[in-house]
A = this chain, B = another copy of it.
Amino acid sequence: MPSRALRADAERNRCLLLSAAQDVFAERGIDAPLDEIAKRAGVGNATLYRRFPTRCELVAAVFTNVVRDVNAALERALASPDPWLAFVDHVTYLCELQAGNRALADLLANGTHCDTELNSLRAHARDGTINLIERAQTSGELRPDFRYDDLTLILMSNAGLLQRTGDSNPTAWRRHLGYVLDGLRTPA
């Protein structure tokens, strides 16, 4: 059993690695080089591989909390009295998360096959989102032909737009999303 000092050291390294991984994934996407993460954390590659033997484990450790936040936002959206506004706000929130984090842009659009807990949280997010869509359709404001998979298309195109405008025109995605959302509203 490791001594208290060794455990504290391991905990410190884990924390440094997660914080570095969050930054490097945000800047360079989910395929960012792992040695860059170790370097940013100020630890050796061996320490990184001891804490997180696979990329999947590192991705899961970084993003599980984010998907938890998405689920909490979904709960609030489902409790909102205006189903259309709740839908619009939630889609905007997801696109906003993508804008702040390149790795998340990939993760939200494409998913990952990494970790059971992350995947079950994502499955929960999917169910909540389908409820949100159906509520907005029942209220008559979201067009009836909109499907859950269409939201994935929106997140993918948003990721592509962010990739091309993120630095030069950081609010371009809002303008584009505005047109898309107007296209999703049932004609008055």
Contact = CB atoms under 8 A, between A and B. Distances in A.
10 contacts: A150-B179, A153-B176, A154-B179, A156-B164, A156-B165, A159-B160, A160-B162, A160-B164, A182-B183, A183-B183
Q: Chain A interface residue count: which class? A: 20 to 34
Chain copies in complex: 2
A173 to B, nearest CB: 8
A175 interface: yes
Chain A interface mostly helix, strand, loop or mixed?
helix
B164 A150 contact: no
Contacts of A157: 157-158, 160-161, 176
A150 B54 CA distance: 41
A41 interface: no
